[in-house]
Structures are given as structure tokens and as C-alpha cells.
Amino acid sequence: NAGVTQTPKFQVLKTGQSMTLQCAQDMNHNSMYWYRQDPGMGLRLIYYSASEGTTDKGEVPNGYNVSRLNKREFSLRLESAAPSQTSVYFCASSEALGGVSGANVLTFGAGSRLTVL
């Protein structure tokens, strides 16, 4: 009963380095999301994928790219990391995006703490 699994849990990068955060869900959910959590800012949506084969920008997409590899997996890539991207990143999934409210319940992973020096 894994739910949403994120890797890695911790990562330290130097400015300009690239990396990919991996996310996988085993609940057969259609929609997947990447959020970042910063002190005093709450959770902000970076990108989301309403269904397999589609991705859309959220509130704070600059500096990130995503890939919906298949129904289970949704990755987040930082091409050239900047100190402003130091944050805790959460992947989430839901049955659907929109429609009846029950289908929108977000199940979150445990988070990936990224530090960019």
C-alpha cells in the first residue's frame, strides 16, 4: 500500500546543476501534480497532468519541466538549478481533475527536500 512514492528524499545541488525528481503512484489515479512548499508561502502548484499524455503549467512553472512518463509516473526536472529553487517538493495524485469533489482528493508523497547552493 505505497500510495505516492517520491525519490530522492534529500538532494543538495550546486547552482547550474540539473536533476530530476521522480514520482510514482500505485492507485491508478489519472491526475498527478508537483507542488513546492516554502515557509510562509504554503503549497504552490508547479505543473500538473490531468491525464496521461497531458501536462499544464501551474502557478510557478518557471525553471521546471515535467514528463508524464505513463499513468503511474510523473517526473519534475530542474535543468539549471538556482538557489531560489531550494524548497521541499511534493508530488500528489488524484482520481481526476475537476468533476465530483470526491475524485479530487489529493494524495501526497512524503516530499523531497532540495537545497541549491
Partner 1 sequence: QQQVKQSPQSLIVQKGGIPIINCAYENTAFDYFPWYQQFPGKGPALLIAIRPDVSEKKEGRFTISFNKSAKQFSLHIMDSQPGDSATYFCAARGLNTGNQFYFGTGTSLTVIP
- Does 44 help bind partner 1 (rule: CB under 8 A)? yes
Smallest gap from Cβ 85 to partner 1, in A, equals 19
Taking CB under 8 A as the rule, which mask of x and - marks residues 76-105 in contact with partner 1?
--------------x-x----xx--x--xx
CB 55 within 8 A of CB 49: yes
Residue 8 in the binding site for partner 1 (CB under 8 A): no
DSSP three-state, residue 58: coil
CB 43 to partner 1: min, Å: 4
Query: Which residues, other chains included, contact 116 with Cβ-Cβ below 8 Å and sequence gap of 6+?
Result: 12, 13, 14, 15, 81, 82, 83, 84, 85, 86
- The answer to whether the beta carbons of residues 4 and 109 sit under 8 Å apart is yes
CB 107 within 8 A of CB 1: no
Q: Does 48 bind partner 1 (CB under 8 A)?
A: yes
Number of separate helices (H) and strands (E) present in the chain: 0, 11
Which of these segments, 11-19, 53-61, 67-75, 77-85, binds partner 1 (CB under 8 A)? 53-61
Q: Which stretch binds partner 1 (CB under 8 A): 15-23, 39-47, 67-75, 78-86?
A: 39-47
Which chain residues interact with partner 1 by CB under 8 A? 4, 35, 40-45, 48, 50, 56, 58-59, 90, 92, 97-98, 101, 104-111
